[in-house]
């Protein structure tokens, strides 16, 4: 069986509804009529809610797109504990890093933020501010202040020397064993 299709009109009419090819510049400038790719953070280190973080930790985030390095700054990448932490911000490939100027404070909750001021190379801003928290580690061996008490000094009565009582030593609690 042979089938023949006869079309009316010209070839020009067939291609009249097809849009011309978009250039890469049109796509980057979002002239395609299609929404731009959303820029998001795909990972952060330390992770949100992490604890026991080193006091010399460099904080990093990785984006799903290459970013414009000029937009990855101390204004768009911040770290706050009790106060704002000063540091150096750098950017390589798809990863931004924040290196604190000095050691972080032990046993402190920090909040890191990447703002929508961070933009991709095509100018698309981060979809939303990305905010996460982590807690630094406690001191390894905090001083034991419970075993020895400071000496007690009683103020002198007029004409007498001060009375100094020796420090009080608190002995360890010993629980006898049952036999």
> In the chain, what are the domain boundaries?
40-136
Mean residue pLDDT of the chain comes to: 79
Assigned token pair, 12: 């020009």
What confidence score (pLDDT) does residue 16 get? 46
Residues with Cβ within 8 Å of 158's Cβ and at least 6 positions away in sequence, in order, are: none
What confidence score (pLDDT) does residue 139 get? 84
Residues above pLDDT 90, as percent of the chain = 56
Residue 138 in this model has a pLDDT that exceeds 80: yes
Residue 133 in this model has a pLDDT that exceeds 70: yes
Residue 63 in this model has a pLDDT that exceeds 80: yes
The string of pLDDT tens digits covering residues 9-51 is 544 444 444 444 445 554 555 554 555 689 999 999 999 999 9
What confidence score (pLDDT) does residue 171 get? 62
What confidence score (pLDDT) does residue 98 get? 98
Give the DSSP per-residue string, 106-150. TT-EEEEEE-TT-BBTTSPBBSS-EEEEEEEPPPSS----SSBPP
Residue 176 in this model has a pLDDT that exceeds 50: yes
Among left, alpha and beta (phi > 0; psi -120 to 50; other), residue 71 is alpha
Spatial separation of the C-alpha atoms in residues 140 and 137, rounded to whole Å: 8
What confidence score (pLDDT) does residue 37 get? 85
Going across the sheet that includes 41-45, the strands are: 41-45, 59-63, 95-100, 87-92
What confidence score (pLDDT) does residue 18 get? 45
Name the pTM for this structure.
0.61
> What class, spelled out in words, does domain 40-136 have in CATH?
mainly beta
Spatial separation of the C-alpha atoms in residues 135 and 34, rounded to whole Å: 41
> DSSP 3-state assignment of 89?
strand
Residues with Cβ within 8 Å of 150's Cβ and at least 6 positions away in sequence, in order, are: 167
């Amino acid at each position: 069986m042979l089938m023949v299709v006869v079309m009316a009109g010209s070839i020009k009419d067939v291609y009249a509804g097809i849009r011309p090819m978009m250039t890469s510049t049109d796509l980057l400038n979002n002239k395609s009529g299609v929404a731009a790719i959303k820029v998001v953070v795909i990972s952060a280190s330390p992770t949100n809610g992490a604890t026991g973080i080193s006091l010399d930790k460099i904080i990093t985030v990785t984006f799903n797109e290459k970013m414009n390095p000029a937009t990855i700054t101390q204004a768009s990448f911040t770290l706050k504990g009790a106060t704002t932490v000063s540091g150096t911000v750098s950017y390589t490939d798809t990863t931004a890093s924040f290196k604190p100027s000095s050691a972080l404070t032990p046993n402190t909750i920090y909040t890191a933020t990447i703002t929508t001021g961070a933009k991709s190379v095509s100018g698309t801003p981060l979809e939303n501010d990305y905010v996460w928290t982590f807690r630094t580690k406690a001191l390894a061996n905090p001083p034991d202040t419970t075993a020895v008490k400071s000496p007690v000094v009683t103020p002198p009565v007029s004409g007498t020397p001060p009375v100094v009582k020796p420090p009080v030593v608190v002995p360890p609690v010993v629980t006898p064993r049952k036999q």
